[in-house]
Amino acid sequence: MPPKQWSRTDLSGKLRAKPFFPFLSWEQERALALAFKTTLAAGLCWWIAYLFGLHDGYWGSISAIIVMQSYVGATVTASRDRLIGTFIGAVFGFLFSLWNALPWNFVCALMAALALSGMLRLKNSARLAGVTVCIVMLVHTTGSHWPIALGRISEVALGVVVALAVSTLVFPDRARIRLKDNLAREYLQLGSLFEATLKGYGGKAAANLAQLREETLQSLEANNELMEAARNEPSGGAGWQEGLNTLSQFGWALFDAIGALELAAQGSADDAYSHQLDPALGMLATDILNGFHYVAHCIDRWRFHAAPKGINLEEDITKLEARMAEIRHTGLTFSQDEILRAYAVQLHLKQIARILRASRVQTSVTVGEAHRKPATT
């Protein structure tokens, strides 16, 4: 048996975010921080507009409110989309306003702005470009539309700059740090899902299997969103972003492999052939489960080069293959369905074990630990 610290490790308590105020949950505290930062950014924009006598300075406050997000990276993304959309809309709105033929010039400007945004794959900027075209062309003015277009760009830029400054300097919440913790929790969840799934082979399926599958899928999808935000933040050092992306991709691969294992084990509640695979099957399953905990531990420490003591997945696979060969002569006493399920389960277990091992080894290379002694499992 592998060391107890890997068979019973539970990092979920350690990884759970702790609020600064004990009477608030972490989510409540995060919402409070976002409200404070958004209010501060909007207030600063209004004050700057008032100080410099900007006629429509309230657009800066509106922009700051719109682009402010919980994470710094998400704020950068929203700010970029708003600036690009505003610039496209302002330029097309002004150019087509020179052709004094409402409503056709407005229709053409709107079509051009939306089409350009679509062709440049600026999906989130397209609607902002359309809104800007409307403001530049439809707001009543007796003179040129150029001041409206220029003012719109400058006001949005003011809101974006202030929002970015506040997001970065006041209670900054880095998506990459949150993603690292969430990925460690994700691998713990994958381990729980694997354990519940394997219970369904040769026995009664775990009662909470569907719930675990749904919760794990939600974690994977939430981490994808964090990954998008993390791409727009400072990397935090060599290999950080690449390592997070590698772990995220392997997480999806493991989820799919566990799903395939669940399908392979269906209808096996009364299979007697499954018991012939022990103890080799049990040893591999135990080491895979411990491997999920160990990878979560590696993510928490951000160190991947050291192999877990007492866990050797390739050796377990070899023993299971030997056990399958050893009992092959007993196949006549069992149904063909039982034997086929056993071989399918064995193949999926081997796949999960090798993907799990690769998740650690490949991440070690990605984050630049190649100079250390390579470790295997």
pLDDT digits (tens, 9 = 90+) for 285-335: 999 999 999 999 999 999 998 888 889 999 999 999 998 888 877 766 788
**Does the pLDDT of residue 231 top 90, yes or no?**
no
Q: What pLDDT was estimated at residue 6?
A: 37
Q: What pLDDT was estimated at residue 4?
A: 34
pLDDT digits (tens, 9 = 90+) for 244-254: 999 999 999 99
Per domain, the residue ranges of the chain are 26-169, 175-366
Plot region of 204 (φ>0 → left; ψ -120 to 50 → alpha; else → beta):
beta
d(CA 82, CA 175): 20
Instruction: Give pTM, 2 decimals.
Output: 0.75
- 175-366: CATH architecture: Up-down Bundle (1.20)
Q: What pLDDT was estimated at residue 2?
A: 36
Alpha helical stretches, state H, 204-265: 209-230, 240-265
Range from 22-26, 237-241, 317-321 carrying the lowest mean pLDDT: 22-26
d(CA 18, CA 27): 10
- Residues 217, 256 contacting (CB under 8 angstroms): no
Q: What pLDDT was estimated at residue 7?
A: 39
Q: What pLDDT was estimated at residue 103?
A: 81
14 or 105: which carries more pLDDT confidence? 105
Q: What pLDDT was estimated at residue 140?
A: 67
**Does the pLDDT of residue 351 top 80, yes or no?**
yes
pLDDT digits (tens, 9 = 90+) for 202-228: 888 788 999 999 999 999 999 998 888
Q: Would you place residue 372 in the very low, low, confident or very high pLDDT band (cuts 50, 70, 90)? A: low
